[in-house]
């Protein structure tokens, strides 16, 4: 397990792209979905990065 180097920012980008392909989200809504405890549970910084890189903001 120590050898796993997961880039959570890139994972957030992938998740954001998936959400955007399914339905329209506002920038704020996408960040909230990505960082929600009922959603993907990324940090707000990771969710913001993902939303911006995916073109949602």
Closest to 33 in 3D by CA, of 2, 8, 46 = 46
Parse the chain into domains and list their residue ranges: 23-57
Q: Can you tell me the distance from the alpha carbon of 33 to that of 6, in angstroms, rounded to the nearest whole number?
A: 20
Residue range 20-30, pLDDT digits in tens: 999 889 999 99
Tens-digit pLDDT profile for residues 1-55 = 556 788 999 999 999 999 999 988 999 999 999 999 988 999 999 999 999 999 9
- Sole residue written with tokens 């959603």: 39
- pTM score, two decimals? 0.86
What are φ and ψ of residue 3, in 5° steps?
A: -85, -5
């Amino acid at each position: 397990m120590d050898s796993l180097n997961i880039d959570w920012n890139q994972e957030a980008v992938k998740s954001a792209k998936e959400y955007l392909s399914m339905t329209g989200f506002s920038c704020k809504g996408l960040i909230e979905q990505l960082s929600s405890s009922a959603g993907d549970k990324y940090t707000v910084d990771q969710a913001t990065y993902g939303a911006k890189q995916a073109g949602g903001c």
